[in-house]
Chains A and B, each alone.
Chain A
Amino acid sequence: MIFTIISIILILAGLVFFLGAAVGLIRFPDFYTRVHAAGKGDTLSSLLVLLGFAVYQLRDFESFSHDWLILLVILKLLAISAFILLTSPTSTHALMDAGWEDKVKPEIAKDRSNHLEEDGPKY
């Protein structure tokens, strides 16, 4: 019962973060802020939902010799979580870098200097 409650809390928190990612993907003004919202919200919500499902698998666990398949499923869910934790920021960074190299215009206030228009990307 305690595992079910923990998993429900984790899954609902993941849905809340995905709601944030979706709202940011719609409402933010330029490419960089949209990538920011999508990358962070997407990574964290995927992690939380997958960890919630990994905790939920523990509800029937009794002994290691009888229920080792459950442990295998949990191991695979944790592997997906670790993989998403590694790859989602990497692909976000790659997309952001491609946009920066292509000089996608950021939304900048009028009185701030935009060095993208002066001399190209600086690192």
Chain B
Amino acid sequence: MESNTFFIGVGLALLFLMIPAMWRMSVGPTALDRIVAVNVIGTKTAVLLVVIGQIFGEVSMFVDFALAYSLLNFTGSLAAARYLHKTKAGAGKLIVFDEPNPEK
């Protein structure tokens, strides 16, 4: 089997396995469920960038993108966690800006 076919298959498998995370991102009952799904998709996107680099034969270029993307993903998810922690809005379906979460 040609190696490029295998890597295209791996990329497609990663892409299709992101669909459950996207479903959780759209329907997830709390705001934190959505953040978790976004975190999973972001980590897998960093891996997918390496796969794309291998398919194009340019891993030395794409690996830098993957490194930067994983850094940004970590910063983003930590910022979202801190924000929801401060506003106490994580347990609600939507982010409430003024009044605190009624379930609290």
CA distance A25 to B26 in the complex (A): 12
The range of chain B's interface size is 35 or more
Q: Is the CB of A95 within 8 A of B14?
A: no
- Min CB distance A120 to B, Å, is 10
Q: Is the CB of A84 within 8 A of B46?
A: yes
Binding site for A on B (CB under 8 A): 3, 6, 10, 13-14, 17-21, 23-24, 29-30, 32-33, 35-37, 39-40, 43-44, 46-47, 50-51, 54, 59-60, 63-64, 66-67, 70-71, 74, 77-78, 80-82, 84-85, 88-91, 101, 103-104
0/1 string, A70-110, CB within 8 A of B gives 1: 00110011011001100110111011011101111100000
Q: Is the interface of A mostly helix, strand, loop or mixed?
A: helix
Number of interface residues of A (CB under 8 A): 49
